[in-house]
Amino acid sequence: MYDLAEGVGTFQRDVFPAKAELFAHLADSHRPSTLFISCSDARVVPELITSSEPGELFVVRTAGNLVPAYTPAPDGIAASIEYAVAVLGVKEIVVCGHSACGAMTALAAHHDLSGAPAIAHWLRHADASVARTAADDRGVAALVRENVRAQLANLATHPSVARASAANAVTLRGWVYDIPTGTVEELDTTGRAATLAA
């Protein structure tokens, strides 16, 4: 098992000194350009995939990269989205799905989640995606793509996002990351994918 304390030591000894000036600047400045919404899956590391420096991404991670449609009820995801858009002024929002997603696999394979009621309840935010791909023979891959599109639609229901979009102040993007190849595809509004340039 990886020793986290040893990792902290490596960071303090090797990484931090090389970026000390950046961290000094970040101590008083928080201006990320992108809100990156991805799955909680440990294999998906937004900063690594995008080669981003500290301070460049505002990251929200949820099981299945799900974004509930806006409601006025207290919601940590909605609060994070609102903060990124209305307070920090991010210029783009990426919803990133990925291959072999456990959440999408559970839905596509109709896993019995009766023993995991919190997971079952959470995954209901993907019901529309499941319905739209029920007849698709591409299984999990199709559901991952449709889910990204659906979460972008949910994201647009958040007032801060709707206002920023109307003012052309933010761009919404849907990505799918393929774990075994490292490729990232961007989805257009129809769900067609184009591989981002290498």
Distance CA 2, CA 90 (A): 34
H or E stretch covering 187 = strand 184-187
127 included as an active-site residue: no
98 included as an active-site residue: yes
Kindly tell me the burial class for residue 81, based on how many C-beta atoms sit within 10 Å of its own C-beta (0-12, 13-18, 19 or more): buried
Distance CA 35, CA 62 (A): 13
Per annotation, catalytic residue among 98, 125, 149, 158: 98
Per annotation, catalytic residue among 39, 96, 125, 145: 39
Q: Are 95 and 173 in contact (CB under 8 A)?
A: yes
101 included as an active-site residue: yes
178 included as an active-site residue: no
Nearest to 182 by CA among 35, 37, 48: 48
Q: Where are the alpha helices (DSSP H) in the chain?
A: 4-10, 16-18, 20-26, 46-49, 76-82, 102-108, 117-123, 127-132, 140-155, 159-166
14 included as an active-site residue: no
H or E stretch covering 12 = none
Three-class secondary structure of residue 56 per DSSP: coil
Per annotation, catalytic residue among 25, 31, 43, 121: 43
Per annotation, catalytic residue among 13, 14, 25, 41: 41
Any idea which residues carry the catalytic annotation? 39, 41, 43, 98, 101
